[in-house]
Chain A
């Protein structure tokens, strides 16, 4: 039979009634609170008994203090004299218990109780929730802007943008609810006290249900993000996200252990806060920096840069990648000895975006004795739903024409799509002359193509067969 039980704590600091009722109910079932941690509360088995729990607040209490403050000790002394025993504390909340049904309540003045709760809330919970709200607003601002402005390209620019935006939007809603709930409770309680009543009760269960639902939703959105990355071939992004979450948990664990260790060593509050903050800062930089370094070094996002060598002052691949739908060799029919290829999978599950880029050294020397180089690059956009295909095409054309301040005139001019086997084709013009850059609109995808020469009819047909549909 287990003698220790843990429960996930979803109480709000100001919900003293909820905590009191919960702990009394647990005691009646034979479980006494032993430790109130940040995330989990620990209970120890005891004989079931009608134990009364009561909560009071001490705004001077802090998790960074080396031990109980003089104020906490004085409070405990007074409570002991009134028949109450300290169970434990949770931030500024001081939890006491008694088996004496006639013991005088801890709080006998509701005005003071409310003032005290607010002082305690201002110490930790309100600033922490406000910071989370601001972070959420900042992190979701791009998604909100995309939604409001109807910018499809930006909205679906990456799974991370789409899902992290949704995730932080959820955080914003949860934080807003938390803050508004507290201030509404406080206002109602003030009114009730002015009319001779007490602080108003909170519907603890409903509030906890909502809080848990919010967290479950956060979990669902995270899982959807992982799924979207895995389905879209973005294993590197999924790996990065998983590692990031694990690192975040590790960071929180290490920071809390630092605070606890310093408390044990009786470090002063100031020293504890400073060291904890420094450890938090350094670890966050080290862990996230290390992770980002690994991701870049091992090519989590680009699929690996591979081994390279330098020839004619240019870097080339020792083993050029083969998973490329269209290469310079495919187009010209010539094999090249020195090649550099790169591939990037971007976009989101709703608008995947695959970018390829290749440089090859021409086999024969040019007139000046040096071999020239050939370039090919293309990006394939695949709108998963037809209803936003036109918007994507329109935005791509708009974005591709830079608003130059140097008098250079870019434009996209429509040309005959038939040779390309496309539905529409737009060629880029620079200062009144066409250049070798096109937007090719195929039935289910849009391809942006740039190369060093104007393709022949055979090459256009090859481009259509390789880039115009799923191969």
Chain B
């Protein structure tokens, strides 16, 4: 648990950043993540709120507009870089899997 913050991303972190490639409010993020993962990744509002706050503090997303209680966000360059690094890490993982196990275990 003492890992460096955002060095690797959890699934909720990954999907929040991914959905924020387009400007979205918190409610839209929850809907989009659920649709994108066919309900596999549940994003609780408490968790989402804390992650948005942490991402914002880390400069990985920025607030674009506030309408009443509704706040919209968009990923920043730093966020994109983190997301890309995570994608490459996952590719490396799958690559290593293929090297060692091939496709046979998936059949």
Residues of B bordering A, CB below 8 Å: 1, 10, 12, 26-27, 30, 42-51, 53, 69-71
Q: Does A74 lie within 8 Å of B49, measured CB to CB? A: yes
Specify which chain B residues have a CB less than 8 angstroms from the CB of A193 in the assembled complex.
1
Specify which chain B residues have a CB less than 8 angstroms from the CB of A115 in the assembled complex.
50
CA distance A236 to B71 in the complex (A): 63
Specify which chain A residues have a CB less than 8 angstroms from the CB of B45 in the assembled complex.
56, 75, 78-79, 81-82, 84, 104, 106
Give, as a whole number of angstroms, the nearest-CB distance from B20 to chain A.
15
CA distance A471 to B48 in the complex (A): 79
Cβ-defined partner of B49 (8 Å) among A54, A75, A111: A75
Q: Does A112 lie within 8 Å of B42, measured CB to CB? A: no
Q: Mark A60-87, 1 if CB is under 8 A from B, else 0.
A: 0000000000010111111101101000
Known: A74-B49, A81-B26. A108 touches B70 (CB 8 A): no
Total count of chain A residues near the partner, CB < 8 A:
30
Q: Does A78 lie within 8 Å of B1, measured CB to CB? A: no
Q: Which of A104-126 contact B (CB under 8 A)?
A: 104-109, 111-113, 115-116
Name the CB-closest residue of B to A83: B45
Asked if A194 CB lies within 8 Å of chain B CBs, one says yes
Question: Nearest 9 CB-CB pairs, A to B?
Answer: A56-B46, A78-B45, A108-B44, A106-B46, A81-B27, A77-B69, A79-B45, A82-B45, A109-B47
Q: Mark A334-355, 1 if CB is under 8 A from B, else 0.
A: 0000000000000000000000
CA distance A105 to B48 in the complex (A): 11
Q: Does A74 lie within 8 Å of B12, measured CB to CB? A: no
Asked if A190 CB lies within 8 Å of chain B CBs, one says yes
Residues of A bordering B, CB below 8 Å: 54, 56-58, 71, 73-79, 81-82, 84, 94, 104-109, 111-113, 115-116, 190, 193-194
Give, as a whole number of angstroms, the nearest-CB distance from A315 to chain B.
71
Give, as a whole number of angstroms, the nearest-CB distance from A259 to chain B.
25
Q: Does A78 lie within 8 Å of B12, measured CB to CB? A: no
CA distance A194 to B1 in the complex (A): 7
A-B contact pairs, 17 of them (CB 8 A): A56-B45, A58-B49, A71-B53, A75-B45, A77-B70, A78-B27, A81-B30, A82-B44, A82-B45, A84-B45, A106-B45, A106-B46, A107-B47, A108-B12, A108-B44, A109-B51, A194-B1
Specify which chain B residues have a CB less than 8 angstroms from the CB of A116 in the assembled complex.
46, 50
CA distance A73 to B26 in the complex (A): 12
CA distance A213 to B43 in the complex (A): 41
Specify which chain A residues have a CB less than 8 angstroms from the CB of B70 in the assembled complex.
77
Cβ-defined partner of A78 (8 Å) among B10, B42, B49: B49
Specify which chain A residues have a CB less than 8 angstroms from the CB of B51 in the assembled complex.
109, 112
Given contacts A76-B69, A77-B27, 15 further A-B pairs with CB under 8 A are A73-B69, A74-B26, A74-B69, A77-B26, A77-B69, A84-B45, A104-B42, A105-B44, A106-B47, A107-B44, A108-B42, A108-B44, A113-B46, A115-B50, A193-B1
Name the CB-closest residue of B to A193: B1
Specify which chain B residues have a CB less than 8 angstroms from the CB of A58 in the assembled complex.
49
